[in-house]
């Protein structure tokens, strides 16, 4: 019994710690421990819970991995329907809305607004009872929605348990599940490579991810969440929207950090302009701002219509979709040989930028959308996402539009194109195809890769055409004399380029991994890999199953990595890069054995690092870190106000050092 109680206590302790770190990581975006430390805590909790299944609770952080598949979603009926919003398309319409409010509820109330970005995602409702998440549901028709609790539970920023000692007895909160533009691009690219369904935009992919009967699929999607709406509250009171948002923060729910209180309608207008300017730089898509009367009593006085409240309005941004005509469809050959059809368009302004070409992804997409040369189409751009053709408008056809057919031979090198059974992408299989070589070199030089300034499209094209460079390792042989004769390259530019190439030799592991151009390994995946492997050599040796198990990598990318390093040519290039002097510091799991045999205990408050960080530093150097002082302890690091552990160390005659000395030991501070 006593043992069980001790285990229960440890489990509770672990859950508390993990909840805290989840919140730091997913909500505040400010983690205080390393991924390895976090994994260790979670692993320990998983182990304890599997040994004691009777102690598993629905709000345990282990329940985020996705439960067993369901047969169907249950229907939920709500008393307090989820409303939609009336739109204002122009500033005049906003002012009209404001004026009407003043007529109806008076000057005082209508001038204190809360403004929030209008997230372009999927609305959901969450119910917490006594602090534990008990329901997650879609909006459906407002009155009835679907119970998608098991899927919702897997969304990282949504806490299974509210933070704080005394949560409300019931909280009903509404908000938006969404996906970052970069994550969408990456996932859609993976879907494309795997020959699976592609999605038109992050919202559709989010909706698709929430509607999975298998919660494990939802768990594998990088979904995010922001809370914005009041659905009901028991056991606590709030009087305004702003106060509600502040409470949500306390309870550990994410809100949009760009939310603001605006006292006057002029402030609302300034807010709209400010957010519109930030729009492209935001990691997620928004399509306007939502303006809400702050005071709940005044909201009540303003009232609701059938489907939307009078106390709120969605002031929409100009659309990012426009209509134009396809002049021709050309085929581009990418770094991996993939043939991508691209529509050349009659130039059109979309969201303030001129668009004259847009991707059509692949042959199947063109067939599915039935896009033809000469068609009128909708094109869409969002942030830095490549513009794409959304759909054709067949009603505007004249009859002379032409069907597109994928060429049988590579338009650049003439090699016969291959399209493996079940794949959506046609490829030029010739790795020496000049288009591929050029793209690989350009990729290598990208800012996020080796960052070689001055190695743009035109220079690369000449280097390849002149036969000066056949692969990325050849770059490091180039001399000013080689470059000078090139067109448009003055002596000074040639010198600068050679210098930039030289400078790129000092790099980092994530950059180098990304620069290699492994299919589906973008900058983010490269970072993840570098966190797990200290060097290229260790990555080359990594077994496929091990790679597939890494969060953020998965089986598809793991397969690509193994295939890439299985190719002798690629290994030779890596050797030649090293021989040319390309080098990087080994990454953090690079274990040294400098602390081998040492057992550290940290006690008291550390001023310069968290205890977790300090422990991670010890482990990275092959040492151990424990929490109790014993005869086995070899060194106690005593921070401010160290207490009984310090005394015990002194009693046992264990070496005691202060934080500054420890920092010197790990090379963070010079002696
Ligand atoms: S408030 C009665 N706030 O817009 C209040 N909605 O057209 C209704 N949305 O279904 C919702 N961001 O999916 C609200 N900050 C925000 C929002 C927001 C996005 C969506 C939501 C809603 C739709 C209404």
Q: Is the confidence at residue 496, as pLDDT, over 90?
A: yes
Using a cut of 0.85, tell me whether the model's pTM lies above it: no
Span from the CA of 473 to the centroid of ligand 1 (angstroms):
52
CATH 2.40.50.140 positions along the chain are 321-396
pLDDT of residue 644: 86
> For the residues 340-368, what does the mean pLDDT come to?
91
Active site residue 118: yes
pLDDT band at 477 (very low <50, low <70, confident <90, very high): very high
CATH 3.30.470.30 positions along the chain are 86-316
Q: CATH 3.30.70.260: does it fit domain 599-665? A: no
- pLDDT tens across 225-243, in order? 999 999 999 999 999 999 9
In the 3-class helix/strand/coil scheme, how is 643-665 assigned residue by residue? CHHHHHHHHHCCEEEEHHHHHHH
Helix segments in 1-90, DSSP class H: 2-22, 35-51
Q: CATH 3.30.470.30: does it fit domain 86-316? A: yes
pLDDT band at 384 (very low <50, low <70, confident <90, very high): low
Question: Which residues have any ligand 1 atom within 6 Å of their CB?
Answer: 83-85, 116, 118-119, 123, 139, 176, 228-229, 290, 309, 312, 314
End-to-end C-alpha distance for the chain, whole angstroms: 52
Span from the CA of 126 to the centroid of ligand 1 (angstroms):
15
Please state, in angstroms and rounded to a whole number, the distance separating the CA atoms of residues 491 and 475. Answer: 17
pLDDT of residue 36: 79
Q: Is the confidence at residue 33, as pLDDT, over 90?
A: no
Half-sphere exposure of 335 (CA within 13 A, CB side): 19
CATH 3.40.50.10190 positions along the chain are 599-665
In this structure, which CATH number among 1.10.287.610, 1.10.287.130, 1.20.58.220, 3.90.79.10 belongs to the domain 2-63? Answer: 1.10.287.610
pLDDT band at 37 (very low <50, low <70, confident <90, very high): confident
pLDDT of residue 590: 46
Ligand 1 atom having least distance to the Cα of 118: 12
- Answer yes or no: are the C-beta atoms of 564 and 518 closer than 8 Å: yes
Q: What secondary structure does DSSP assign to 605-650, as a single string?
A: B-SSS-HHHHHHHHHHTT-EEESS--TT--EEEE-BT--HHHHHHH
pLDDT band at 589 (very low <50, low <70, confident <90, very high): low
Which of 196-200, 296-300, 314-318, 386-390 has the weakest average pLDDT?
196-200
Nearest 5 degrees, angle CA 632-CA 638-CA 642?
Answer: 105
Burial tier of 117 (Cβ tally within 10 Å: 0-12, 13-18, 19+): buried
pLDDT band at 670 (very low <50, low <70, confident <90, very high): low
Determine what percent of the chain is predicted with pLDDT higher than 90. 68
**Cα radius of gyration (the chain):** 29
Q: Is the confidence at residue 110, as pLDDT, over 90?
A: no
Q: Which helix (H) or strand (E) holds 230?
A: strand 223-234
Q: How far is CA 121 from CA 41, 231, 535, in A?
A: 32, 18, 39
pLDDT of residue 15: 95
> For the residues 486-508, what does the mean pLDDT come to?
92
- Answer yes or no: are the C-beta atoms of 314 and 87 closer than 8 Å: yes
108: its two tokens: 């005082």
> For the residues 443-461, what does the mean pLDDT come to?
93
DSSP designation for 130:
T
Q: Which residue has the higher pLDDT, 349 or 177?
A: 177
Average pLDDT, the chain: 91
pLDDT band at 383 (very low <50, low <70, confident <90, very high): low
> For the residues 82-108, what does the mean pLDDT come to?
91
pLDDT of residue 108: 65
CATH 1.10.150.20 positions along the chain are 434-503, 509-579
pLDDT band at 424 (very low <50, low <70, confident <90, very high): confident
User: How many other CB atoms sit within 10 Å of the CB of residue 208?
Assistant: 15
Nearest-CA residue for atom 22 of ligand 1: 84
CATH class as words, domain 321-396? mainly beta
The residue whose CB lies within 8 Å of the most ligand 1 atoms, and thus the one to mutate among 88, 172, 229, is: 229
pLDDT of residue 588: 60
The residue whose CB lies within 8 Å of the most ligand 1 atoms, and thus the one to mutate among 137, 174, 204, 228, is: 228
Ligand 1 atom having least distance to the Cα of 314: 7
CATH class as words, domain 434-503? mainly alpha
Q: List the catalytic residue out of 118, 224, 292, 645.
A: 118
Q: Compute CA 610 distance to the chain's CA centroid, rounded to the nearest angstrom.
A: 26
Q: Is the confidence at residue 194, as pLDDT, over 80?
A: no
CATH class as words, domain 509-579? mainly alpha
Q: Compute CA 18 distance to the chain's CA centroid, rounded to the nearest angstrom.
A: 21
Half-sphere exposure of 139 (CA within 13 A, CB side): 18
668: its two tokens: 């963070």
- pLDDT tens across 542-561, in order? 999 888 877 778 888 899 99
φ/ψ region of 660 (left if φ > 0, alpha if ψ in -120 to 50, else beta) reads alpha
Nearest-CA residue for atom 18 of ligand 1: 118
Q: How far is CA 400 from CA 97, 373, 374, 404, 603, in A?
A: 47, 9, 8, 13, 80
Nearest-CA residue for atom 13 of ligand 1: 123
Nearest-CA residue for atom 17 of ligand 1: 118
Span from the CA of 386 to the centroid of ligand 1 (angstroms):
27
- pLDDT tens across 133-162, in order? 999 999 999 999 999 999 999 999 999 999
């Amino acid at each position: 019994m006593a043992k069980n109680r001790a285990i229960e206590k440890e489990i509770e302790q672990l859950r508390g710690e993990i909840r805290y770190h989840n919140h730091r990581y997913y909500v505040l975006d400010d983690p205080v421990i390393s991924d390895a430390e976090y994994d260790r805590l979670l692993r320990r909790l998983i182990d304890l819970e599997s040994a004691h299944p009777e102690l598993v609770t629905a709000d345990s952080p282990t329940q985020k991995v996705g439960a067993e598949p369901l047969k169907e979603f249950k229907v939920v009926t709500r008393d307090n329907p989820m409303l939609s919003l009336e739109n204002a398309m122009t500033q005049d319409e906003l002012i009209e809305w404001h004026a009407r409010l003043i007529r109806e509820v008076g000057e005082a109330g209508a001038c204190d607004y809360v403004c929030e970005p209008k997230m372009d995602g999927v609305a959901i409702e969450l119910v917490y009872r006594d602090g534990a998440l008990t329901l997650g549901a879609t909006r459906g028709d407002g009155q009835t929605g679907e119970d998608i609790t098991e899927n919702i539970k897997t969304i990282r920023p949504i806490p299974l348990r509210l933070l704080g000692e005394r949560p409300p007895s019931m909280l009903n909160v509404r908000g938006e599940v969404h996906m970052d533009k970069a994550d969408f691009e990456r996932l859609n690219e993976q879907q494309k490579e795997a020959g699976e369904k592609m999605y038109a935009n992050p919202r559709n992919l989010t909706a698709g991810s929430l509607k999975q009967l298998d919660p494990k699929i939802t768990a594998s999607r990088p979904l995010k969440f922001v809370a914005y709406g009041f659905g009901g509250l028991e056991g606590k009171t709030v009087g305004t929207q702003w106060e509600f948002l502040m409470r949500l923060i306390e309870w550990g729910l994410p809100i949009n950090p760009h939310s603001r209180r605006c006292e006057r309608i002029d402030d609302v207008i300034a807010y709209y302009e400010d957010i519109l300017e930030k729009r492209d730089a935001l990691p997620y898509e928004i399509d306007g701002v939502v303006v809400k009367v702050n005071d709940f009593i005044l909201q009540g006085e303003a009232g609701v219509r059938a489907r939307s409240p009078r106390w709120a309005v969605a002031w929409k941004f100009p659309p990012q979709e426009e209509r134009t005509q396809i002049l021709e469809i050309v085929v581009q050959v990418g770094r991996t040989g993939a043939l991508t059809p691209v529509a050349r368009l009659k130039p059109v302004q979309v969201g303030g930028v001129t668009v004259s070409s847009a991707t059509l992804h692949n042959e199947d997409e063109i067939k599915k959308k039935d896009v033809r040369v000469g068609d009128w189409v909708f094109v869409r751009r969002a942030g830095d996402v490549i513009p794409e053709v959304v759909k054709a408008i067949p009603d505007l056809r004249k009859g002379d539009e032409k069907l597109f057919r994928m060429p049988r031979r590579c338009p650049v090198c003439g090699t016969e194109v291959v399209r493996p059974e079940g794949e959506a992408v046609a490829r030029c299989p010739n790795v020496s195809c000049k288009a591929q070589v050029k793209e690989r070199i350009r990729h290598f030089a990208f800012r996020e890769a080796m960052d070689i300034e001055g190695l743009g499209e035109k220079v690369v094209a000449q280097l390849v055409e002149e036969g000066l460079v056949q692969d990325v390792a050849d770059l490091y042989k180039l001399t000013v004399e080689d470059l000078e004769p090139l067109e448009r390259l003055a002596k000074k530019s040639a010198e600068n380029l050679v210098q930039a190439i030289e400078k790129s030799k000092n790099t980092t592991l994530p950059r180098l991994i990304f620069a290699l151009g492994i299919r589906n390994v973008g900058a983010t995946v490269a970072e993840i890999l570098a966190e797990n492997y200290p060097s290229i050599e260790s990555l080359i040796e990594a077994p496929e199953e091990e790679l597939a198990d890494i969060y953020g990598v998965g089986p598809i990318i793991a397969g690509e990595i193994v295939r890439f390093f299985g190719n002798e040519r690629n290994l030779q290039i890596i050797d030649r890069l090293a021989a040319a002097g390309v080098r990087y510091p080994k990454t953090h799991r690079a274990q040294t054995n400098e602390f081998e045999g040492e057992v550290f205990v940290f006690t008291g408050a550390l001023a310069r690092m968290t205890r977790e960080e300090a422990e991670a530093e010890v482990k990275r150097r092959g040492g151990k870190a424990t929490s109790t002082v014993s005869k086995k302890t070899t060194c106690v690091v005593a921070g401010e106000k160290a207490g009984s552990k310090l005394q015990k160390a002194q009693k046992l005659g264990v070496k005691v050092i202060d934080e500054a000395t420890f920092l010197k030991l790990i090379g963070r501070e010079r002696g």
